[in-house]
Amino acid sequence: MTTHFINYILLAVGILTVLSTVIMIILDKLKGDDMYFNIDVKEQELKKVIEDAEEIQSELNFTSDIIVKDIEEKINAFNQLYKHAARSLEQLNAKPAAVEPQAPVQPVPQPVQQPIQQTAPHIERTVVPVKFKPVTAVNTNKTVQNEEQVKSKQQMIFELAEQGVSIVDIAKRLNVGQGEVTLILSLKNEEN
């Protein structure tokens, strides 16, 4: 009888083991299905994020195109304004005799004085005409000559430096400051 009892116990333990194994397999399968479901959900979320990013990128491209067009329009307008100003300046330089001095401005007649103004001291008002120096070819020639002198000075500094003359000697020969020579040479080195 004890052997039958032990067999029943072992049979019950075996059945419980099989049942627990089946339950664990079912739970594991359910977790696996959840895992696949979660992967599908994450995949959908990633696709949505990618679509949003592509939409933002297209909006940024559109906005940058608009900004570039606006900048180009402003540059073109500025260039046209600059060309118009240059043409006007050329016309003024071409016709210096066309600018006539203005006649002196006559003083404005004073209104009838009020009793309050009679007690104030008399102040004489005069208008002085302002004369502007017209832009002529002589004025522009002076600026061109100054620019040429600066360019020739720079060229002389470059030539002396290429010959191996020191900065101190270049400054003495050309009667310029050592700092100016150093600056000009450093700017040339940056360009190269």
Q: Hey, where are the domains in the chain? A: 135-192
Q: Which two tokens stand for residue 85?
A: 């100003």
Strand stretches in 13-171, DSSP E: none
Q: Which two tokens stand for residue 15?
A: 């059945």
Burial of 158 (0-12, 13-18, 19+ CB in 10 A): middle
Query: Minimal CA–CA distance to 136: which of 177, 79, 96?
Result: 96
The four Cα atoms 57, 59, 64, 69 give a dihedral, to 10 degrees, of 140
Give the position of tokens 């270049």.
170
Please state the separation of Cα 149 from the chain's center in Å: 34
Judged by DSSP in three states, 135 sits in coil
* Per-residue pLDDT in tens (0 to 9) along the chain, 192 residues: 677 788 888 889 999 999 999 998 888 777 766 666 777 888 889 899 999 998 888 888 888 888 888 888 999 899 899 899 888 888 888 765 544 555 555 665 555 555 444 444 555 555 555 454 554 555 556 666 666 676 688 889 999 999 999 999 998 988 888 888 888 888 887 776
Answer yes or no: are the C-beta atoms of 99 and 92 closer than 8 Å: yes
What's the pLDDT at 104? 59
Task: Give the fold, CATH level 3, of 135-192.
Answer: Arc Repressor Mutant, subunit A (1.10.10)
**What does the alpha-carbon distance between residue 187 and residue 54 come to, in Å, rounded to a whole number?**
45
For 14-45, the pLDDT digits (tens) are 999 999 999 988 887 777 666 667 778 888 89
What's the pLDDT at 98? 46
Judged by DSSP in three states, 170 sits in helix
